[in-house]
Amino acid sequence: MNDWYRRFIAIRIFPTGRRLFTFKNVRKAADELGMTALVQELESAIAADSKCLDLERAWRAQLGAGTARGSSTEVDARVDRLISAIVSQLQHMERSLDKSNPKKKRAADFRTNWFPGGAGALTSLPLEEELEEVHGLLVAFEDSEIQEDIVTLGIFPYVDELRDLAPSYRAEVETLPKQAVVFATVMEARRAGQRRLAKLVAYILGTMDEAMTDEAQDELLAPILDQDRRLADAARLGHKVPDVDPDTGQDLPTTTSTGPAGAATA
């Protein structure tokens, strides 16, 4: 499946509970505006993300000694050190460079965009989950503009070694006992949900339907912008992003958060 939505719509990655809560609030606004077709699309999105949430819960429930951090391998330890080194380098530049130096802001932007929860948000994940997150970063880092940042900020030795380690890391993780719910399935469900969120934004902004007035756009986008702002604030402060109860919107304990979130693209 293509990734054009991610390329053109820079929306932060929502944890599944937050995304589901957002879909429900947009559906409520669409229902009040009498937008029947949009309500139906949102019903489908809500049903799909509810299944995604069930997958995540099943995945968490089956985690055992075989996939806990206590069974970390040497390759995993090296990956963790490289991730920590990247974040440390960026933080050092943020703290040490004068505000007139453009690299100071560039380092801050890179860190908040790609490591919003700090190194620990990645290195504390179960092995399978960290593997998929690292894979996603390496794919994103192939973009020419991002590669320019990596070179300018001096983190290319760590990124290059991380890329070299990736095949060995995957090989080791794949030797772990097979689980009833494969994490790759969870990740694909998350990515599909994020694509639906990006498509929703594109529809709200791009539809030529006469009912889509500026006021209607504001009402429909408000729940999305609210959650995006919350993720941005957490990223700026270096806080781990908690997920929320999909019915109430209340923050959940960070131990039940559904993986890293807050990166700047879908």
SS3 7: helix
Amino acid identity for residue 58 in this structure: A
* Global model pTM greater than 0.85: no
**Residue 201's closest CA among 265, 248, 258, 260?**
265
Amino acid identity for residue 109 in this structure: D
- The number of angstroms, rounded, from the C-alpha of 8 to the middle of its chain's C-alpha atoms is 16
**Residue 258's closest CA among 236, 234, 242?**
242
Give the pLDDT confidence of 26-80 residue by residue, as tens digits: 999 999 999 999 999 999 999 999 999 988 888 877 765 444 444 456 788 899 9
d(CA 243, CA 51): 16
**Residue 140's closest CA among 31, 260, 221?**
260
DSSP conformation class of 244? B
Give the pLDDT confidence of 243-252 residue by residue, as tens digits: 899 999 888 8
What are 221's two structure tokens?
């986008």
Domain parsing of the chain, residue ranges: 4-63+183-256, 69-173
pLDDT tens-digit profile, the chain (266 residues): 455 665 677 788 899 999 999 999 999 999 999 999 999 999 999 999 999 998 888 887 776 544 444 445 678 889 999 999 999 999 999 999 999 999 999 999 999 889 988 888 888 887 878 888 898 899 989 988 899 999 999 999 999 999 999 998 888 777 766 666 777 788 889 989 999 999 999 999 888 777 788 999 999 999 999 999 988 888 777 777 788 999 998 888 765 444 455 555 54
d(CA 223, CA 217): 11
d(CA 246, CA 17): 5
